[in-house]
Structure 1
Amino acid sequence: MNRNALTLSTVLLALVTVPLTITGAAVALPGLQGGLGADLAAAQWVVNGYNACFAGFLTFGGSLADLVGRRRMFAAGVALFCAGSLACALAGDIALLIAARAVAGVGAAATTAAGSSILAATFDGPARARAFGLLGTVLGAGLAFGPTVSGALVAAADWRAVFAVPATLSALVLLLCPLLPPLPGAAGRRVDWAGGALFTAALMLLIFVLVEAPSLGFTDPVVVAGLVAVLGLSAGFVAAERRCADPMFDLGLVANRPFVAFSLAAGVLMVVMVPLLVYLPSYLIAVVGLGAGEAGAWLLMLTVPSVVLPPVGAVVARRSRGALVAGALVFSGAGAALLVTAGADSTPGQLAAPLLLIGTGVGLTTGVIDGLAVSSVRTEQAGTAAGLFNTARLATETVALAVVGTALAVLSGGRLDGPGFTTALHTVGAALGAVAAAAAVTVIVLLRGRTPG
């Protein structure tokens, strides 16, 4: 195997663990609640803590990779992810599990940012396109088959297995890291420490407020103070980015209407998809009465389109970007709205329409919408645009997870089971459908406008 092939294989093996650990935690949620005696609010932090750290440190990790070197940052990220995942598998109480998931989230962010940077630096021309195409395929496959694999692991062993397997894979990647090209950091590049710290603090504090507000009360002084602090940190972030010579985000991109349209659409598609990936397994297990393995198999209707439909989306995009993106939002929104038909007696046939519609909307745009967003800016802005696009999508997804989790907890009376869970799922599905419809209209309006300058 030549060095480029080894580099590609190592990065792909590392990054396939990212969707596996997200879906794994979702499938493991009912089991770990019982096994650790955790209440719902604490169990939600197993998911939200990981995603908040992942989203908050993604772009920051890319900046650090430019400073300290891509291979060094990649190895550090893999090591953190491995240690965090192993600690998850061994955790004896919910507090340790949440802390370990946060460590794994930081490691996943560093691994993703540095791994993408390694591919960009190693390959060029058509070879780079093929490498990133394979990356998209691997991530899509991990997302598609993650629930099924995780369900099988829980059924065969217990919830700890869904953390032990990613830990084992990342340990293997760690052994391969010395074989990667050194790729030292860029001379003269400075890390935007202030912007990174303010952005991460604002996002994680917002997640804390959204998750804890139902139990503390929305008028509790801690919640109110938290929201005020989020606003202050956000204002400080904008001010810091405007003053910084080498900012983490180029805020001027928000004036680019196509870029904003594609970023909005990508975020909303994840707003619909990811919370359902996390909470539908719990519904299928607790209300419909499926085993973890069966629940994972049913979710293939939701996830497989993300693997098989991207080529179709690419063809449609060449004819009409607006039709593709707005249509994808309509499909996903319609599927979410149709979840009002779900119930304790649901069958795969009854859930096929909503799940396939959601999956179709996401699948048609997987990878394609990333290219549309980056292609909508000037060439010299491509790297910054890619970082902002991915961070915005992940941050939106993370906030959506917290909001949906909070809504389900409140509407179900604090227990994700029984008729209350069904009513909560119906309400959330209808709300997600409305959000997707509004986003489709907004995208059409934005794409009809003209991009400044």
Structure 2
Amino acid sequence: MSTGNPRATLAAACVVGPLMTLVVTGPSVAVPDIGADLHSSLAAAQWVVDGYMLTASSSLAAMGSLADRVGHRRMFTWGMAFFAFWMAVSGLSNNILLLDVSRAVSGFGSGAALASITAIVAQAFDGPARAKAFGLFGTFLGAGLAFGPMFGGVLVNLWGWRSVFLVLAGVAVLVLLSTPMLPRTEPNRGPRFDWAGTFLFGFGIALFVLALVEGPGRGWTDAIVLASAAGCLVLLVAFVRVERRSEHPMFDLGLFARPQFLAVCLVPLVLAFSFVALVIVLPPYLTSTSGLSAFRIGLVLLLLTGPSLVMPAVTGVLAQKVSQRTLFVVLLAFSAVGAAWLTMVEPGASAVALAGPLLFLGIGYGISLGILDGAAVSAVEPERMGMAAGMFNTVRLTSDAVSMAGLGALVTALTKSALDTDAVSAYDGGAEALTSRALQGGLNEAAETLPAGEVRDRAVTAMADAYAAGLH
């Protein structure tokens, strides 16, 4: 193995990390402009984001295993080149079908790049230096999460929605220039690749994400949603059977018997509900219950996302002095306290009242960014680091999809059940219509259609209390 240039390796990783978060958060801001410019429906425009999530999450595990066989640097190079090309196609698309397809196809490239770069960093550093490297990597990953929507908004306002994709393509091309300086490992060729396991797992995860994406809009009893969920179950059961019989599986299920690796894979599921989903759920809640403007909501959310800029680097230093187990306990404790604290915040609460729980949740997530990626690949042998990185990132992205769909559906159901329907009966369309408006952040605008005075005040109070009860 050639060691390459450690500084160049870390620099490339610190660009790729936020790039792979910006590719989701940036284009999501551009969806309304895309729909208007290409004369598409909102559902078709939303697949600009959903299509990418589907292919990226379903291909990560396979790309990681394949990277172990062909070489991590080679797979990273292929992945970044593939990603850059299809991002450019996205930026030049003149119809929504081509844009949706190019975005979906680009997910395969990002899956290859993301699964490879984690293993590359682990091979370039060792011991305390590895902890520092992953701490810095986590800091830049946090920056992508914190400023992704702002990045997308600025580009859309200055140069239009196409600039988001073209800038991402340009950055990917710049990263490609660094690939000759990355460490190169000997491919672990071995017997033929496990294509059966690869396709079963990939299509299974794809159907799972499809069900989660379509469920909130179509309804969870819709035929397509149910068929996708059933297909996912069948394929994943078949995957487990195939992998257990294979001498050289795409993913060694025995890794889940290792406590460290299993713990690393379970933590993202917990954090997805305490951090990722809140970034989606909180803005409409604050608009409806507190009447905050978009700018003030952005400032409030910095209390949640801001710690992800600081804590990964701090965690990288602490990791040299305390055990990973201690850091896991600390991050879960911060997340648990923050979530419990948030349940005590009443509707209409000020930013000061929200500061405590949001900071605790943000600190817990920030700690995770500094240790999880490094812990995942450190739990296995060097020749299987790509496999471990791919499966870990699959769990991470799938957990995000589960949390966003699951928490949104749960809040909706609990809000409806807690609502005093008599109090909002005066609203045209009834409780169902008012709940829908409130969950989209339009409670105050909807209330203006009611007669001023007691009727309006009672309806708004009842809706806000139900919304808060659903979120709690």
TM bucket, shorter chain? 0.7 to 0.9
Aligned to 1:328: 334
Q: Is the 1:151–1:295 contact (alpha carbons within 8 Å) kept by the matching residues of 2?
A: no
Q: 1: distance between equivalents of 2:214 and 2:375?
A: 37
Q: 1:416 aligns with which of 432, 440, 448?
A: 440
Aligned to 1:366: 369
1:357 aligns with 2:354: no
1:209-257 Cα deviation digits (max 9, x unpaired): 2333455444443333322211111111111111122223332344455
Q: 1: distance between equivalents of 2:98 and 2:465?
A: 33
**In the TM superposition, what is the alpha-carbon distance from 1:262 to its structure 2 partner?**
4.3
Unaligned runs of 5+ in 1: 434-453
Aligned to 1:22: 24
**What is the identity percentage for the equivalent residue pairs of Structure 1 and Structure 2?**
40
Aligned to 1:341: 347
Aligned to 1:389: 392
After superposition, the Cα gap between the structure-2 partners of 1:61 and 1:379, relative to the gap in structure 1 and judged at 3 Å, is closer
Q: 1: distance between equivalents of 2:120 and 2:88?
A: 25
After superposition, the Cα gap between the structure-2 partners of 1:125 and 1:261, relative to the gap in structure 1 and judged at 3 Å, is closer
**In the TM superposition, what is the alpha-carbon distance from 1:117 to its structure 2 partner?**
2.7
**In the TM superposition, what is the alpha-carbon distance from 1:64 to its structure 2 partner?**
1.8
SS at match of 2:228: helix
Q: Is the 1:50–1:102 contact (alpha carbons within 8 Å) kept by the matching residues of 2?
A: yes
**In the TM superposition, what is the alpha-carbon distance from 1:68 to its structure 2 partner?**
2.5
SS at match of 1:206: helix
Could you tell me the TM-score, scaled by structure 1's length? 0.77
Aligned to 2:63: 61
Q: Is the 1:408–1:425 contact (alpha carbons within 8 Å) kept by the matching residues of 2?
A: no
SS at match of 1:173: helix
Q: Which amino acid aligns with 2:347?
A: T
Q: Which sits farther off after the overlay, 226-235 or 348-357?
A: 348-357
Q: Is the 1:150–1:296 contact (alpha carbons within 8 Å) kept by the matching residues of 2?
A: no
Q: 1: distance between equivalents of 2:299 and 2:131?
A: 32
Q: 1: distance between equivalents of 2:287 and 2:86?
A: 27
Q: 2: distance between equivalents of 1:162 and 1:395?
A: 24
Aligned to 1:307: 309
Q: Which sits farther off after the overlay, 278-287 or 116-125?
A: 278-287
1:49-70 Cα deviation digits (max 9, x unpaired): 2222222111211222222333
**In the TM superposition, what is the alpha-carbon distance from 1:18 to its structure 2 partner?**
0.9
Q: Which sits farther off after the overlay, 189-198 or 412-421?
A: 412-421
Q: 1: distance between equivalents of 2:328 and 2:28?
A: 33
Could you tell me the TM-score, scaled by structure 2's length? 0.75
Q: 2: distance between equivalents of 1:425 and 1:211?
A: 27
Q: Which amino acid aligns with 2:238?
A: G
Q: 1: distance between equivalents of 2:411 and 2:38?
A: 21
For residues 233-244 of structure 1, what are the structure 2 equivalents within 5 Å? 233-244=235-246
1:176-197 Cα deviation digits (max 9, x unpaired): 4355455452231643322221
Aligned to 2:88: 86
Q: 2:15 aligns with which of 13, 16, 35?
A: 13
Aligned to 2:158: 156
Q: Is the 1:57–1:106 contact (alpha carbons within 8 Å) kept by the matching residues of 2?
A: yes
Unaligned runs of 5+ in 2: 417-434, 447-459
Q: 2: distance between equivalents of 1:425 and 1:61?
A: 46
Q: 2: distance between equivalents of 1:240 and 1:285?
A: 49
**In the TM superposition, what is the alpha-carbon distance from 1:5 to its structure 2 partner?**
2.8
SS at match of 2:153: helix
SS at match of 1:299: helix
